Chain A
């Protein structure tokens, strides 16, 4: 089936540093979504992207829909301890099953105060 390759798998950074992570696919996507999962909770939607090249921000988070439509990027600026968690990319592939998202395996972020 279709897969999303999310990297890195984990990051351990110092508070205040910027963070970048990305998601790639061999298929073209018409929607990219970024979720965050806090420990012991379900994932929560952070940002949704719908057009190639689109750049969208949510506070210190910025995500981009790649112009090839096969990738997406998430940046977190000036990280703080509450940014700790697992970040998932998800998308709906062109020609994919309507109503069903494909998820990456997640990037686990740890922040050292």
Chain B
């Protein structure tokens, strides 16, 4: 396993507040990803990173930003949380240029925005 740790595992926050989720990996994987999982939608890519300080948007990036200042850490920030961002968030890592070997996922963060 890639040794992926997501924190916190659960969070309840109020609408309009900023929230930061953390993903930490110990396997020195170059690629890191943030997904959200909602019933009926499967896994949807929010943002991804292909190296330190190199990030790009996924299909549902509005309202989210990311930062990667170190190989091992990938942060997801909700600038001003809304109820539509209530979801389970997964971080994943990939070891190579190609996704052929698949990703390794963390255990997820359940975020509730009230």
Contacts and interface: CB of A to CB of B under 8 A. Distances in A.
A92 B105 CA distance: 17
A11 B32 CA distance: 32
A103 B105 contact: no
A100 B96 CA distance: 10
Contacts, number: 62
Interface in A1-26: 1, 6
Interface string B83-94: 000000010101
Contacts of A48: 100-102
A48 to B, nearest CB: 6
A99 B32 CA distance: 10
B41 to A, nearest CB: 7
A43 B105 contact: yes
A58 interface: no
Given A45-B104, A99-B50, A88 B43 contact: yes
Given A42-B90, A48-B102, A98-B99, A103 B43 contact: yes
Interface in B1-56: 4, 31, 33, 40-43, 45, 48, 50
A79 to B, nearest CB: 22
Contacts of A43: 43, 90, 105
Given A99-B50, A103-B43, A105-B41, A92 B108 contact: no
Given A99-B94, A99-B98, 15 more contacts: A31-B99, A31-B100, A35-B102, A42-B92, A42-B105, A42-B106, A42-B108, A44-B105, A45-B104, A92-B98, A92-B99, A99-B48, A99-B50, A104-B42, A105-B40
The 3 closest A-B pairs by CB, nearest first: A42-B105, A105-B42, A103-B43
